[in-house]
Amino acid sequence: MESIAVGLAAFFELMGCQFFLPQPKDRCSPAPDLASWIFLAATVCLLWDISIYPRRFMHMGRAWRVLVETMAAIFIAELGTIVIWCGIERFLYGVTDEILHLIRNSCRPSPYLYWISGLITTFVSGAFLYFVLRATDSIYYINKFVLELWTTIKLSLRMLRCYMTMNTRGRRQALKVCQLTGKMTNRRSSSRRCSTPKEEEYNSD
C-alpha cells in the first residue's frame, strides 16, 4: 500500500476516529492499552506489505490509488482493532478473571487482575506482531537498518574522535577537504543532470 494511506489509517486509529465501525462504549476490556497498540502496529505492518489496488486500474492517476488504498486501509485497521482484537481481548480478560476467581475462591475481583490481564494480552499481541514481522520479512529490513545505523554511528564517532585529537591547523585542513569534496560532488551531480543522453553514452564508452 501507499505509505500515506497506511499512515493515515494508523493516525486515525491512534486518535480514536472511526468511519466504518462504531467503537464499543465500554472499551474492549479493562486491560491496559499497551496490547492494543502492539496489535495496531502489527496491523500497520501487514497493511504496508499487502497490495489491494487492482492492476487493471494502474493506468489511472495516482490520486485515485491513494484514495482507494486510504479507505481500504482505514476499514481494515478498524476491522482488525475493533472486531478481531476486541473479541480476543474480551475473551482473554474473561478467562483470566474466571481463573483468578477459582484460585482465590472468592467472588470479589482480584487486585492483580489488571496487571495479569495486561501481561497476557501483551504477550498475545506481541506474538501476533512477531508473526507478521516474520511473514512480511520486516525483521530482515529492521536488522539491516539497525546494522547500517550502528555502522554510521561508529564511523561518525571515530571521525569525531579523530577530529578532536587534531590541532587547530589540522582541523582547518579537514574542514577544507570536506568543503572541496562537497563542491566536487555537487558539480558532478549538476553536470550529469545537464548532459544529454548521447553525451552520457559517449562518456560511458
CA-CA distance, 197 to 191, in Å (whole number)? 12
Question: Which domain-ending residue is among 143, 176, 194?
Answer: 143
Whether residue 42 sits in one domain with residue 79: yes
The domain of 182 spans 146-204
**In the listed set 143, 164, 183, which residue is the last one of a domain according to the structure?**
143
Q: 48-52, 87-91, 158-162 — which is least confidently predicted?
A: 158-162
- Please say whether the beta carbons of 121 and 89 come within 8 A: yes
Same domain? For 54 and 110 the reply is yes
Instruction: Name the residue with cell 465500554.
Output: 26
pTM, entire model: 0.69
What's residue 134's pLDDT?
Answer: 85
The tens digit of pLDDT for each residue in 56-80 reads 888 888 888 889 899 999 999 999 9
Distance CA 158, CA 179 (A): 19
**How many separate domains does the chain show?**
2
Max Cα–Cα distance, the chain, nearest Å: 87
Q: Which three cell numbers stand for residue 197?
A: 543522453
- pLDDT, one tens digit per residue, over 131-161 is 998 888 777 777 888 888 888 888 888 877 7
Query: 86 with 174, same domain?
Result: no
Q: What is the pLDDT of residue 126?
A: 94
Dihedral sign, CA of 104, 109, 112, 116? positive
Q: Same structural domain for residues 108 and 38?
A: yes
The three three-digit cell numbers of residue 18, written as one number: 472511526
